[in-house]
Amino acid sequence: MKLVGMIALCALAGGAAAQSYPSKPVRVVVSTVPGPLDTFARMTLDKVSAALKQPFVVENKAGAGGNIAAEMVAKSAPDGYTLLYAIDTTFTVNPSIYAKLPFDPAKDFSAISVPVTYGQMLAVHPSVPAKSVAELVALAKQKKLTYASGGNGTPSHLSGAYFLATAGIDMTHVPYKGTGQSVIDVVAGQVDSIFAVTTGVLPHVKAGKLRALGISSPKRSELAPDVPTIAESGYPGFEASFAYALMAPAGTPGDMVATLNRELQRALAQPDVQQKNHTFDYVVTGLSPAQSAAWLKENRERWAQVIKRAGIMVE
């Protein structure tokens, strides 16, 4: 009976410990400088912090496509008090474009959530005589065109390379150190075209400084419902969607992961967050931890094929 009583007490103590998480501040490493991901992370973590009654302290650690931040978190204790907020490409693209990673994207992390996805808008300078995806493809077969990106291996580069491979055309890639300057140069007519986040391109489209031709995600953007998807434009199955990922070190207790996922979903359901997500053109996924891990695995395998076909590599 004494042994049974001790087992019962241990079970109660374990339950109490699980219910008390978090009992101290949680450190969240964000893999970029202040920008879209950082804004989204702070917006959602403020809600999670209020619900769980503990500070979630953001630390920006940019560099190497998210690899620096990911390595830091991968080597942290799996106790629920060090987390990573990253762009999904750290886990889906980097394994194929970096010769060696300082972490294993499949084994060194527990997925908490892939909370939102977002696409890219294909736009051209008005001097480019193409008013549809089909016309751009036809034009590219007749003359040499250029496309800008925020840098090698970035979503804008990947979307462009994937599109070229799918359409069977070639354009000269002009990489920049950041998407902002790349958009500016397309607006100035120095580069012919670009794939970039809708919110970064749409103001220029509305001002007549760029022409929107297509959307890379499987559904049209709510911000630009008149712009067809690439898939609708003659390339069924084309999808270049990107996402944010909230991750924990592998071995983090499942109840902690479940708690964080639940509170993040609740944060995303709040009206003010919904409105901001609409403004940012984010699509909420509602994925569980297991579904988030599966999403990352599926996209890692898909991008590996695209990257091999396009010959993308980062030194």
Do 100 and 38 sit in the same domain of this protein? yes
pTM of the model: 0.86
Q: What is the percentage of the chain residues whose pLDDT exceeds 90?
A: 83
How far apart are alpha carbons 127 and 93 in whole angstroms? Answer: 33
Segment 112-126 mean pLDDT: 97
The answer to whether position 231 is within a domain reads no
Do 33 and 167 sit in the same domain of this protein? no
Q: Who's near 134: CB < 8 A, 6+ residues apart?
A: 233, 234
How far apart are alpha carbons 222 and 146 in whole angstroms? Answer: 28
Segment 28-56 mean pLDDT: 95
Higher-pLDDT residue of 163 and 19 is: 163
How far apart are alpha carbons 229 and 43 in whole angstroms? Answer: 29
The answer to whether position 222 is within a domain reads no
Do 210 and 130 sit in the same domain of this protein? yes
The answer to whether position 232 is within a domain reads no
Do 51 and 73 sit in the same domain of this protein? yes
Do 132 and 113 sit in the same domain of this protein? no
Cβ neighbours of 31 (radius 10 Å)? 29
Domain final position from 197, 215, 233: 215
pLDDT value of position 19: 60
Do 106 and 249 sit in the same domain of this protein? yes
Residue type, 226: D
For residue 104, the domain's CATH number is 3.40.190.150
The answer to whether position 12 is within a domain reads no
Do 255 and 288 sit in the same domain of this protein? yes
Segment 105-114 mean pLDDT: 97
User: pLDDT (tens digit, 9 = 90+) per residue, 178-204?
Assistant: 888 999 999 999 999 999 999 999 999
Residue 297 three-state SS: helix
The answer to whether position 77 is within a domain reads yes
pLDDT value of position 11: 44
Residue 110 DSSP one-character state: E
How far apart are alpha carbons 179 and 41 in whole angstroms? Answer: 20
pLDDT value of position 81: 98
Segment 102-123 mean pLDDT: 97
Segment 238-242 mean pLDDT: 93
The answer to whether position 20 is within a domain reads no
Higher-pLDDT residue of 8 and 209 is: 209
How far apart are alpha carbons 134 and 123 in whole angstroms? Answer: 13
Q: How confident is the model at residue 315 (pLDDT cuts 50, 70, 90)?
A: low
Asked whether 273 and 47 are in contact (CB, 8 A), the reply is yes
pLDDT value of position 12: 43
How far apart are alpha carbons 261 and 258 in whole angstroms? Answer: 5
How far apart are alpha carbons 219 and 118 in whole angstroms? Answer: 10
How far apart are alpha carbons 135 and 144 in whole angstroms? Answer: 14
How many whole angstroms from its chain centre is CA 36? Answer: 10
Do 105 and 147 sit in the same domain of this protein? no
Segment 198-224 mean pLDDT: 96
Do 139 and 175 sit in the same domain of this protein? yes
Residue 114 three-state SS: coil
What's the structural domain count of the chain?
Answer: 2
For residue 141, the domain's CATH number is 3.40.190.10
Domain holding 147, by residue range, is 120-215
